[in-house]
Structure 1
Amino acid sequence: MESKQQGCESGDSDCNGGLSDMPWWRSVGVWWWWMVVGVVVAVTGGGDPVLARDGDKIVCYYASWAHYRQGAARYTVQDVPVEHCTHVIYAFAVLDAATLTLTPHDSHLDTAAGLDNYRAFLQLRRRNPQVKLLLGLGGWTDSRSDKYSRLVSQPHHRNAFTQHVLDFLTTYGFDGLDLDWEFPAHHGPSEDKEGFKKWVEELRAAFRPHRLLLTAAVSAGKSIIDRGYDVAAVAKALDQVHLMTYDMHGSWESRVANHAPLFPANGANPELSVDFAVQYWMKKGAPADKLVLGIPLYGRSWTLSGSDTSVGAAASGAGNPGPLMKSAGTLAYYELCQAQQAGWKKVSGADGPYLTSGDQWVGYDDVATVIRKAQYVRGKGLGGVMLWDVTMDDFRGSCGDGPNPLIAAISQALGRINNHGTVRPRDDSTSQRSTPRPQPPRPITTTTTTTHTSTTQTHLPSPMPHHPGSNSVNSNPECRRKGYTADAKSCEHFFRCAGDRVFHFKCPEGLHWLQSRVSCDWPDAAPCKNLLY
């Protein structure tokens, strides 16, 4: 979910979506890793761990717009560690504001009219036949209008949505739908609470004959829970409840803190912790085994305003963009482990680890932290863990711990890897087949213009900028640059040329094209005057 949570909720601002010196890391990092794994094996009794039928779920969100990132940050559907995941959710489809039905977010990337990424995603079953592949609907950006409120307020709108989404899911072959409306009654009317309940209950009834899963990503903030969810009824209708237990703090605040603490530090607001959210959802009527605990694979960063680097220190704003994701205030785990190798100082605080270097501060979850959270899941009898999002783990293994070290550690701690390092199949015999943001989504609208007649079929171009030979440069006057290019007449539009065709794109509503990052971003980060024409 485009990771915006309580921080945005409490401040109502437009916030976005063991490290030490290098010699220490190079000399003892691997030893430390195996020591932690040894503790996990000891806790679970050694040998082949006993699988918890309902407690070993690993729900992996795949942020499809990572396909457009550049260099080592580029992430394709083939990079999803599906062997570790029990469920993978394609983020995101969106709600059409006119028809109030589900529609692809990026038709060029998602559908057969372009790169056909939905089909590539569904082929993940070839690597893990037991995995459940769901389509996510919504996200932070898509929730920033009244369209979801309009949908749930009228029975005929809900019925039309249900009939359309059933056809969509079954035609493609998805295993279910994950609802990511952020959040009912948050900026909408109080009637959203009842409307959301009716929506999920009606979807449940319609999905049951087709054995489709219905899940939802929900807030961990008390005020949003109270305003937006009839917890007992919603939890009964859903197969899984994905708790967004992260982004409790961020650069929209003027003091630094870990954004996903398992327990609150001394003196901290007790409601801004993972444990509080879990206990509160259960208190309100959610069964423990349906709750799936969200774990972030990224950190939230600040620029300090003074010499104090401790938790609670004053900050002047977001931390500097990382070298790969290039997102102010957010660092992917692969950027964090590289920062460690560059000499950033690690401190293990009471509410989680953090790194400092000069005036930069970032709080995050490391291997030890995610193992602790996985053990918490088992101890509380929860349904499993949810990861936002898999594109931000060290998926290339660039820091020396192998690919996806956080996901692998969670898989180990939940008993999904035996003591030989092999992923064990999950026993789903009792399961019903009938669920943030660091980065804003990428383009959602595509149109194609043919500039002259051609008898040769032209294939859609790769979405990543590249440098073709001079004979590939189009004579069309729109094509002044190679790769994706800003539209001089619009902040929201951009295009790309391929042979005799011009592919026009439009950013999601409210976002601007930023040429320097070759992506869509919030207007304050991508003002029109900074576009490169």
Structure 2
Amino acid sequence: MIKALWITLFAAGLAACGSSGGSGTSSASSVVSSSPSSESRSSASQSSVSSTPVTDECPQGRHIVGYFPDWQGEVADVQFSYLTHINYSFLLPNADGGLQPLGVAGENRLMALVSMARPAGVKVGIALGGWNDGDDSAFVALAQEAQTRTRFVQAVTDFVVEYELDGVDMDWEYPSSDEEAANYLLLMQQMRESLDALPGEHFLTAAVVGAGDWAGRYILPEVFEIVDFLNLMAYDNTSEPHHSSFNYAIAALDYWSARGLTREKTVLGVPFYGRPSYTAYRQYVANSLDNACVSEVGNDFYNGIISVREKAQLVQSRTCGIMMWELTQDTTDDTSLLRAMWEVVEGEPASYFCPES
């Protein structure tokens, strides 16, 4: 198809310029009712390209997951060598199960992202939904009926095939009733079956609230068996001044562990921005290099290099991955938060030294 050919030719052009090429994902569009066991999915995923070490605690390796938005930043600035997964954000659903178009600019950004990620061995998925100003009504509506669930799953599967993607990240924020919880489970089961029907391995993940039964309780334990892992959004906590403190990270891990989520399927999320201003980390550093090593400026709270290293150490002992929202808010030099967390995960020496460290 045209888009798949565009991606292949783009990747070939990169190889001709000195980048190493990679094989694309095979295409298919059928949806079947049977799916491999979680054990076979886990074993197959071990053969995928990943820079992170495989251990008994983390048989799939440790994941380093970044979200890349469709509205800002440049694909060429992404530090692919420090990532295992990138989720392009966001593809929005309609209440009837259809998908809102990305538009020409969005399509081009996604195709460029896939073309540059593939030679680096980084998996690219599509993130579905997002916060969307708190409007999850389309998800609520489409998940209620079998017909619209099927239409949505097929549309997403076709999208994965068309753009040669490696997986799907469900960002329904958030199921908030027993009925929605049951429909979310049905939707995730059907999505898993559809992705497993495609040739090759395709991941299914989901972004969930950091901690708290106000939303977390409606992600049923049966979902844990379906996904490859959950991305815990341990930020935007409004119950304390620092929206993403170390204590909140621990609370998030404790909450989901108590719910039955295994270490292997736990990925801790960190923010690359501060609140309440939502200033990007890179802007703090642009204002003053000293801001790279602290976690608050004025009335703003965020995660600087020291905070990110502490959370990456926590990840080493309690999870199998770390995630960040979002990549374009980072710097691309030695003060990079992504680079700092990668160094901890990989056991590499620090490239930037803070006065306190």
Q: Read off the aligned partner of 1:90 and give its amino acid letter.
A: Y
CA distance in 1, matches of 2:209, 2:134: 13
Structure 2 residue ranges without an equivalent (≥5): 1-51, 352-357
1:65 paired with 2:63, answer no
Which residue does 1:242 correspond to in 2?
A: 231
1:132 to 119, 123, 128: 123
Residue matched to 2:94: 96
Q: What is the aligned partner in structure 2 of residue 118 from structure 1?
A: 110
Aligned-partner Cα distance in 1 for 2:157–2:208: 22
Q: Residue 363 in 1 paired to residue 301 in 2?
A: yes
Per-residue deviation, 1:51: 5.5
Cα distance between partner residues in 1 of 2:286 and 2:227: 39
Secondary structure of 2:214's partner? helix
Return the letter of the residue paired with 2:189.
E
Q: 1:310-321 alignment to 2 at 5 Å?
A: none
Q: Give TM-score, length-normalised by structure 2.
A: 0.77
Other structure's SS at 1:331 match = coil
3-state SS of 1:258 partner: coil
The percentage of aligned residue pairs carrying the same residue is 28
Instruction: Tell me by how many angstroms 1:297 deviates.
Output: 0.8
User: Is the Cα–Cα contact under 8 Å of residues 95 and 142 in structure 1 kept in the other structure?
Assistant: no
Equivalent residue runs for 1:313-332 within 5 Å: 329-332=277-280
How far apart in 1 are the matches of 2:227 and 2:274? 29
Q: Which has the higher strand share?
A: 1
Alignment map for 1:91-490 (pairs within 5 Å): 91-97=89-95, 99-104=96-101, 106-111=102-107, 116-128=108-120, 130-141=121-132, 144-185=135-176, 189-210=177-198, 211-230=201-220, 232-249=221-238, 257-263=241-247, 273-301=248-276, 329-341=277-289, 353-356=295-298, 361-380=299-318, 382-395=319-332, 397=333, 401=334, 405-415=336-346, 418=348
1:291/1:50 CA distance change after superposition, 3 Å: closer
User: For the structure 1 residues 408 and 205, does the alpha-carbon distance in structure 2 shift closer, same or farther, using more than 3 Å as the test?
Assistant: same
Q: 1:83 aligns with which of 81, 99, 102?
A: 81
Q: Structure 1 residues 363 and 388, CA, compared in 2 at 3 Å: closer, same or farther?
A: same
Q: TM-score, normalised to structure 1's length?
A: 0.52
Does structure 2 conserve the Cα–Cα contact (< 8 Å) formed by 1:183 and 1:224?
no
**Residues 173, 208 of structure 2: 8 Å contact kept:** yes
Amino acid aligned to 1:83: S
Instruction: Give yes or no for contact 2:70–2:89 (8 Å, CA) kept in 1.
Output: yes
Change (3 A) 1:83 1:248: same
CA distance in 1 between counterparts of 2:285 and 2:291 reads 9
Residue correspondences, number: 296
**Which residue does 2:354 correspond to in 1?**
none
Residues 208 and 232, structure 2, Cα contact 8 Å, conserved in 1: yes
What's the CA shift for 1:143?
5.2
Matches within 5 A, 1:9-24: none
Cα distance between partner residues in 1 of 2:292 and 2:324 = 26
Q: Distance in 1 between matches of 2:162 and 2:288?
A: 46
Contact 1:102 1:137 in 2 (8 A): no
Identify if the C-alpha distance between structure 1 residues 90 and 107 changes in structure 2 by more than 3 Å, giving closer, same or farther.
Answer: same
> Does the aligned pair in 2 maintain the 1:55–1:414 contact within 8 Å?
no
In the alignment, residue 161 of structure 1 is paired with which amino acid?
A: F
Q: CA RMSD in A?
A: 2.5
Is the alpha carbon distance of 1:339 and 1:83 closer, same or farther for their aligned partners in structure 2, counting shifts above 3 Å? same
**What amino acid sits opposite 1:171 in the alignment?**
E
Distance 1:196 1:50 in 2: 33
Which amino acid letter does the alignment assign opposite residue 284 of structure 1? R
The one-letter code matched in structure 2 to 1:109 is A
Letter in 2 for 1:200: M
Compared CA separation, residues 87 and 344, structure 1 to 2 (3 A): closer
Distance 2:118 2:344 in 1: 25
Is the contact between residue 205 and residue 229 of structure 2 (CA under 8 Å) also seen in structure 1? Answer: yes
1:378 & 1:298 partners in 2: Cα distance?
23
Larger radius of gyration: 1
Seen in structure 2, the aligned counterparts of structure 1 residues 184 and 406 have a Cα distance that, compared at 3 Å, is same
- 2:340–2:350 contact (8 Å) kept in structure 1: no
Provide, for residues 344-391 of structure 1, a one-character-per-residue CA deviation record: whole Å limited to 9, x for no partner.
898x6xxxx3222xxxx11111111111111101111x1200110010
In structure 2, relative to structure 1, the CA distance for the partners of 1:204 and 1:368 (3 Å cut) is same
CA distance, structure 2, for counterparts of residue 296 and residue 126 of structure 1? 25
Relative to structure 1, the CA distance from residue 179 to residue 137 in structure 2 (aligned partners, 3 Å threshold; closer, same or farther) is: same
* Distance (Å, rounded) in 1 between the aligned partners of 2:343 and 2:229: 22
Query: How far, CA to CA, are the matches of 2:202 and 2:60 in structure 1?
Result: 18
User: Does structure 1 retain, via aligned residues, the 8 Å contact 2:75–2:109?
Assistant: yes
Three-state SS of the structure 1 residue aligned to 2:205 is strand
The alpha carbon displacement at 1:125 in A equals 3.0
Change (3 A) 1:143 1:95: farther
8 A Cα contact 2:136 2:173, kept in partner: no
How many angstroms does 1:339 deviate by? 3.1
Cα contact 2:312–2:322 (8 A) shared by 1? yes
Offset of residue 197 of structure 1: 0.8
Q: 1:101·1:160 contact (CA, 8 Å) conserved in 2?
A: yes
Summarize the Cα distance change of 1:344–1:276 in structure 2 as closer, same or farther, 3 Å threshold.
Answer: closer
In structure 1, runs of 5+ residues without a counterpart are: 1-48, 67-74, 264-272, 302-328, 422-533
Give the CA deviation at 1:291. Answer: 0.8
The answer as to whether partners of 2:292 and 2:304 remain within 8 angstroms in 1 is no
